Amino acid sequence: MASNSLVELRDHLLTLGDDTKAIALAIGARAALRTIPLLQHLSWDKPLRKRMRKGLGRPRMSNSEIVLGTFRCAATAWVTARFPAFGMSDHFHEIKHAARMAGGAEDAGATAASYAPYAAHNAMMVALAVFEDRHRQYAAMSAGQTVGAGAIGFEHAYAPEPVKPSQASRDQRDAVNRELSGVVRIMWDAAWSDIRRLGNVGNSPQSLLMQALWLTPPRRFIQEDWRKLSERLLERTDEHWGVWIDWYEAQLAGPVDLSEREEIERVSLPNHVWAQGAAFVNGRIFGHVD
């Protein structure tokens, strides 16, 4: 089902001609942002092992680093979609690859949370397709992969445990399968809602990017994960997560008041600043650190 959905979305985007890449970036950026609540499913109570596989040659990122990197990656994709002049700037080309890799999907382990940085990574691949002038098929496929990553993450996080045949009737098993399909479809349905909204505004990605992140209210369990994640982050008072929580709340509501200058400044911090961790980076954004 997911594979067919990806092909269907890709093929639809390719029918849009010269608009394909810009619209693919808007669809991908919004899809990546919808996966942020999955970060609640990081292994918070029992941290994952510190060592990574030898090929990476580095220690595992902390949960704070994964969350910060995922916000950075998803926000950079959104800012390039919203303000294309930034995507064409030399500064974007200086930071684009570091931003693309910032979330560290592998660092999140085999958890539903890993699909949030993975989706953000794919959204940045759409941005690279747009601003490195790659073929529009690449942009359309990367947008579909972004939505698909979110769909798989939602399945891992929210699908019910399969009911064993010895414990349930055929009707009960069928109910589980229907619910599973519904969970997988959440991301695809949201992307198609975006496509339909684009048709109502003349295929304007900029108009779509000003809309509420979910055009129909998200399911309760998604809202609950965002609530839990934001509360967890705010408890880390020295890390100043309010700068990202407020930003994400604005995306949920419809980011009409976000300043172009401030948005570009947020994602334009030099790579060496991002490397200093959440407390420093968020303090810099908030204005506490020069």
Residue 233 has pLDDT above 60, yes or no: yes
Residues in the chain: 290
Residue 82 has pLDDT above 70, yes or no: yes
d(CA 223, CA 251): 13
d(CA 271, CA 204): 32
Give percent of the chain above pLDDT 70. 86
d(CA 244, CA 231): 12
Give percent of the chain above pLDDT 90. 73
Region 193-213: what's the mean pLDDT?
A: 90
pLDDT in tens, 145-165: 999 999 999 999 998 654 344
Question: From the CB of residue 230, how many other CB atoms can be counted at a distance below 10 Å?
Answer: 20
Q: Residue 95: name the closest of 87, 104, 85, 106 by CA.
A: 87
Q: Which two tokens stand for residue 40?
A: 């609640």
d(CA 159, CA 39): 16
| Residue 5 pLDDT level (bands cut at 50, 70, 90) | confident
pLDDT in tens, 218-227: 999 999 999 9
pLDDT of residue 257: 80
pLDDT in tens, 253-279: 998 888 899 999 999 999 999 999 999
57: left (phi over 0), alpha (psi -120 to 50) or beta: left
Contacts of 170 (CB under 8 A, 6+ apart): none
Q: Which two tokens stand for residue 249?
A: 């709340």
Q: Is the dihedral of CA 154, 157, 162, 163 positive or negative?
A: negative
Region 24-32: what's the mean pLDDT?
A: 98
Least-confidence region, from 122-136, 163-177, 206-220, 225-239? 163-177
Residue 48 has pLDDT above 70, yes or no: no
